[in-house]
Amino acid sequence: MKKAVCSGYYGFDNFGDDAVLKVLVDNFSSKYDLTVFSSNPDKTSRLYDVSSIYSFDYLKVITALLKCDVLISGGGSLLQDVTSVKSLLYYCGLIFLAGIFRKEIIIFAQGMGPFNSLFSKFFVKFVLKFAKIITVRDDASFELLKKWGLSPVLVCDPVFNIQIPMVYKNSAVGIQLRDFVGVDDNFLKSIANVINENFSDKEVVIFSFQDSKDLKICEHFNTFLNANATIKHNLSIDEYITEISQLEYLFAMRFHAVLVALKAGVKVLPISYDKKVSELAKEVEVPYVTLDDYEHLSDLVFELKNQNVNKNKELLNLKHLDFNIFDI
């Protein structure tokens, strides 16, 4: 069996990236002996039953690259310099080293950019020429790489492949929030008022998907509710998916929270802080609000309560990432 190493934003207790890793491991473990670069290798190894190396133990990382047959880079938005130039150099550096070592390279369901500097664009374009298979998860990334003279394959987000458990609905309302520009007291109070006025008879559950960015906002939001909600955090991927699947309603910011809820037959009101969230909402024809346009939030409650969850599930189940395209 070939050996493959996987690099990504793994081990940071971020639901979306860990869900991507779960799908990756579930589908690649039969093809490859996997080693995952992680910021928390002990936890990653325990949860996913794979070998894991600390992402920034450079000697071990380089040794693993030398001994492997394949580098799987992704998924997620790794190749961008808005969050950090340092992280861009790290992920590009791994691709560059794998190319120098003549390893097969898979770019796995990534989003490209945005880029603030010409150097970033040049370096990404340069290292991607080493890749044998480049898959991207959005149209903009696909068009950009085609413009660069590369041959990308457009795929859906890997979490479309996630398995949703059969669970009983508990008639609860879920709120999933993250820290972001525009998530201020006015916005939080608007969400809370809708909950207080329309769902006072239901249990409210607040979800932190990455405690370093979500938990404080979730705790602060709780102070605006008439009755204290339960805050769920630091759960495993399977636990989060089960908890989300049991809900009747969900107000959610993060793309993967919206996706899992829709696949589970939960009535969802997406809160778009990023184009990918609004695009998903448009795809299944559900209303959404943005961080700078939420004045009509209360008007959407009727549509939310009458959402056709079976139609949502059917539309999303048509999308699936075919792992056969990664046969090399």
- Could you tell me if 245 and 165 are in contact, meaning their C-beta atoms sit under 8 angstroms apart? yes
Give pLDDT, residue 295: 86
What is the rounded end-to-end Cα distance, in angstroms, of the chain?
Answer: 13
Cα–Cα distance for residue pair 142/155, rounded to 1 Å = 9
Q: What is the mean pLDDT of the segment spanning 203-212?
A: 97
pLDDT for 313: 87
Segment 18-39 shows an average pLDDT of 97
**With a threshold of 0.85, does the pTM exceed it?**
yes
Residues in CB range of 261: below 8 A, 6 or more apart: 174, 244, 245, 247, 250, 252, 268
- Distance of alpha carbon 209 from alpha carbon 13, whole angstroms: 8
Per-residue pLDDT of 8-22, as tens digits, reads 999 999 999 999 999
Predicted confidence at residue 327, as pLDDT, reads 85
Average pLDDT over residues 206-230: 96
What integer pLDDT is reported at residue 317 of this predicted model?
84
pLDDT of residue 314: 87
Averaged pLDDT for residues 175-182: 95
CB proximity list for 244: less than 8 A, separation 6 or greater: 174, 207, 250, 257, 260, 261, 264, 266
Structure-token pair, residue 237: 């991927």
Query: Going by C-beta distance under 8 Å and a sequence separation of 6 or more, which residues neighbour residue 275?
Result: none
pLDDT at 117: 93
Least confident of 52-56, 88-92, 291-295: 291-295
Task: Tell me: pLDDT of 93 over 90.
Answer: yes
In which order are the strands placed within the sheet that holds 230-232? 230-232, 204-207, 173-176, 249-252, 267-272, 289-290
- In the prediction, which pLDDT does 32 show? 97
* Three-state SS sequence of the chain: CEEEEEECCCCCCCHHHHHHHHHHHHHHCCCEEEEEEECCHHHHHHHHCCEEEECCCHHHHHHHHHHCCEEEEEEEEEECCCCCHHHHHHHHHHHHHHHHCCCEEEEEEEEECCCCCHHHHHHHHHHHCCCCEEEECCHHHHHHHHHCCCCCEECCCHHHHCCCCCCCCCCCEEEECCCCCCCCHHHHHHHHHHHHHHCCCCCEEEECCCHHHHHHHHHHHHCCCCCCCEEECCCCHHHHHHHHHCCCEEEECCHHHHHHHHHCCCEEEEEECCHHHHHHHHHCCCCCEECCECCCHHHHHHHHHCCCHHHHHHHHHCCCCCHHHHCC
Decide: 38 and 10 in contact? Cβ < 8 Å. yes
Can you give the pLDDT at residue 40? 97
Structure confidence at residue 96 (pLDDT): 98
Q: Which of these ranges, 30-39, 147-156, 234-243, 291-300, has the smallest mean pLDDT?
A: 291-300
Q: Provide the percentage of residues in the chain whose pLDDT is more than 90.
A: 91
pLDDT mean over 191-212:
96
Mean pLDDT of the chain: 95
Share of the chain above pLDDT 70, in %: 100
The domains found in the chain, sorted by start residue, are: 2-155 (3.40.50.2000), 173-316 (3.40.50.2000)
pLDDT surpasses 90 at 97: yes
Looking at residue 328, its pLDDT comes to: 78
Q: Which residue has the tokens 């133990």?
A: 57
- What average pLDDT score do residues 164-171 get? 90
* For residues 186-214, average pLDDT: 96
Q: Which tens digits make up the pLDDT trace of 41-70? A: 999 999 999 999 999 999 999 999 999 999
Place 315 in a pLDDT band, splitting at 50, 70 and 90: confident
Query: Please, are residues 48 and 25 in contact by the beta-carbon 8 Å criterion?
Result: yes
d(CA 228, CA 142): 45
| Those residues with Cβ within 8 angstroms of residue 123's Cβ, 6 or more apart along the chain or in another chain | 88, 89, 92
